[in-house]
Amino acid sequence: MKQIYDNRELSWLKFNERVLEEAMDETVPLCERLLFASIFQSNLDEFFMIRVGSLYDRTLVDTKETENKTGMTCEEQLDAIFARTAELAPVRDKAYSEIMLELKEKYGIEQVDFRALTKEEEEFLSVYFTKEILPLISPQVIDKRHPFPFLKNEEIYAVAHLESKPQSVKLGIIPASGSFSRVIFLPTANKIRFMLVEELILHYMPLVFENYKIICKSIMRITRNADINMEEALYDHDVDLRDVMTELLQKRKKLSPVRMELSRKLDDDSLAFLCEHLELKPTQIFRQKSPLDLSCVFALRRKLEDIAPDLFYKQADPQKSAEIVNGEPMLPQVLKRDILLYYPYESIKPFLRMLNEAAYDPAVVSIKITLYRVASNSKVVEALINAAENGKSVLVLVELRARFDEENNIGWSKRLEHAGCSVIYGPENLKVHSKLCLITRKSGDRVEYVTQIGTGNYNEKTSALYTDLCLMTANRDIVAEAGAVFNALSMGTLVENTEHLLVAPLSLQNKIIELIDGEIAKARSGGDGYIGLKLNSLTDKVLIDKLVEASQNGVRIQMTVRGICCLIAGVPDYTENIEVISIVGRYLEHARIYMFGRGEDMKLYISSADFMTRNTIRRVEVAAPITDERVRSRIVHIWNTMLNDNVKARVMQPDSTYSHRHPAEGEAPLDSQAYFIEEAYENAKKSPVAEASTPKVRQAKKVKPTPIGKKRRAVEKGGKGNS
């Protein structure tokens, strides 16, 4: 059988390589290229902490375990990951070097080392180190007599091999982070010259370890496994989930190292000493010339934002939706017709306005919502708190297990509970990843429902960075099943069957298989079988195999898969009817769209779920059918525009590599994201305004705060209790 599967981890590395390509793209502004280099690195950090950490853990349990697509063992996957990462490191270094060279030549912006300093700059740094750094650092000498220190995850250290007796190794280590700035801007007129604090500390290590001769030295950074096992912890504790998560977060900080990064070459003795104490293999050590932590680019970006705007993308703010009637309350608008918002081209404000109106509308009796990730100063949470304080019944499912947002969500859950909201955590062993909100309004004997279903989180910050779809609807079929989802979540049970919504884990994967079977039957009978999928990732082997079957039966399948894609497209006799493109650009493609069939008979959904096993059968996810013709037409327009992207689209080849799609001869360039930005600005000009005669829903006066509300505001005024 021909190879039609790609390994998940190696496919992810291909995605991150596409991110790195943006750092090397000369058509991208220089500071944005720096940002892409930083994103490449932060992506890789998380990949090592979670995916490599998980593989490492599994090697300790079963050395013969294989993954279900390519048959690679965990050890084989780790070896392939380390080898590919080593190949990508020089590419990242080259990208960073080229960006910094161009910044220096065109703008006088330069990262300097001690070889490039003027006498005045060197004197400045000498004084700076003596006064600002030296009093705050905590150097350590490590040898057989002194215990090896705990090195924090992702922290930067300066390390030196100190001369010692034969047959022994002595190291000097200095943490390079603390109560001082990482980026040191030099007082140079008419230029922006800077040095990173770790390089300053490394340079003056002989001053710190003045009683020792330094043999070699380097900047060092450790990445630790962060794949905590929440299920195992739950079995061992008979306590609140919030307490379990708090304990696990402390445990995460102390897990085993999985990678070491060095800025310079260390000798064999010191490397062997480090590897022994950190339990690392030589293949887990990576040398690089660019900064080990590229988050330093944010300080540089802040410095340049106002003085060199051409180094950045042209400003593009989320616009007013042409679907929204200005001056008219949101709830009545949604009760009249379905409304679709497309972030970040359109603003999240209409949804926030609807939530705030609900908080103060005397006819609204309840609000129910699922929260996975929210902004640090969440307007969504504030609206929910206000609603609870105004006497509404507010049910909030807070997903405490949202990776790397656990601590944030623990804080929000406490604050919501304190305000009078009913807070739940969802079914045991299943994350709730759905983006679902249900508002109930009672006016006299009439009960009205409005549901919001989205592809992205209730997060104002990411709504300006990620492409997502937000559907607000009063469709009775949808709101009835949304209510059933919330009822199940409240009782800790699962929705077993639905007629309209697709609800994982019991009624999504099987329904998608039925929809694919429908297109197969259509193609077999001579019809036009078609499937269109916009996903972040495709790893579910059950669905992959069904898509392969559809391709073999003549169904045309087009997919835009931003990240991992374990199905290899274009393989003769297997996937030759499947086309896969990946769009990586200014915004993170995040919306999920499912299309089965064409024209009026098309079954069209938006969803929170990727085609990953963790989404389809291990989480609570929701996909909503799109029935309104105006909304359907718009989503099809979005889909077709992305399919025709010939600037930021990469096309998967039958060998699983990706190649840039370029405009054909005589064809105009089409960057789909740039197109949607322009379209949003044009549409905003058409946004209707409510006529003066349009009756407005009476807005309630703000309810006097309850004692709980007064207490909350007093706490916040005192600067305590913020999460």
Distance CA(215)–CA(204), nearest Å, equals 14
Two tokens, residue 35: 């940002």
**312 burial level (CB within 10 Å; 0-12, 13-18, 19+):** middle
- Sign for the pseudo-dihedral over CA of 119, 125, 128, 130: negative
**Amino acid identity of 623?**
A
Which amino acid is located at 338 in the chain? Answer: D
CA atoms within a 13 Å half-sphere pointing along the CA-CB vector of 141: 13
End-to-end Cα spacing for the chain: 54
Contacts of 393 (CB under 8 A, 6+ apart): 365, 366, 367, 422
- Mapped onto helix, strand or coil, the DSSP state of residue 461 is coil
Q: What is the three-class DSSP state of 723? A: coil
Q: Which helix (H) or strand (E) segment is 379 a member of? A: helix 379-389
Place of tokens 């063992």: 73
Provide CB contacts within 8 A for 271, sequence distance 6+. 282, 285
Residue 291, Cβ neighbours under 10 Å: how many? 23
Question: Which residue type is seen at 37?
Answer: A
| Active-site residue, 433 included | yes
Angle at 497 between CA 493 and CA 498, to 5 degrees: 115
The residues facing 369 across adjacent strands are 396, 437
| Residues 77 and 67: beta-carbon distance below 8 Å | yes
For residue 169, report the phi and psi dihedrals to the nearest 5 degrees.
-125, 135
User: What is the length of the chain?
Assistant: 723
Dihedral angle at the C-alpha atoms of 318, 324, 327, 332, nearest 10 degrees?
A: -130
Task: Look at the block and give the residue holding tokens 């020792």.
Answer: 212
Distance CA 645, CA 649 (A): 6
CA 695 to chain centre: 42
Q: Which two tokens stand for residue 638?
A: 């979005």
Look up tokens 């040398």; give the residue.
287
Candidate list 146, 277, 418, 433, residue with the active-site label: 433
The two beta strands, 619-625 and 431-432, are parallel
Find all residues with CB under 8 Å of 489, minimum gap 6, and list them. Answer: 370, 397, 424, 426, 427, 432, 620
Q: What is the dihedral of CA 321, 326, 332, 336, to 10 degrees?
A: -50
- HSE value, Cβ hemisphere, 13 Å, CA-based, for 49: 19
Tally of CA atoms within 13 A in the half-sphere of 93 that contains its CB? 14
Give CA–CA dist 560/639, Å, rounded: 9
Q: How far apart are CA 386 and CA 391, in angstroms?
A: 9
d(C-alpha 154, C-alpha 139), whole Å: 18
- The answer to whether the CB of 375 falls within 8 A of the CB of 466 is no
Tokens of 156: 């930067």
Residue 34 near residue 23, CB atoms below 8 Å: yes
DSSP H helices, 204-280, are 205-208, 230-235, 241-252, 268-278
Residues identified as active-site:
433
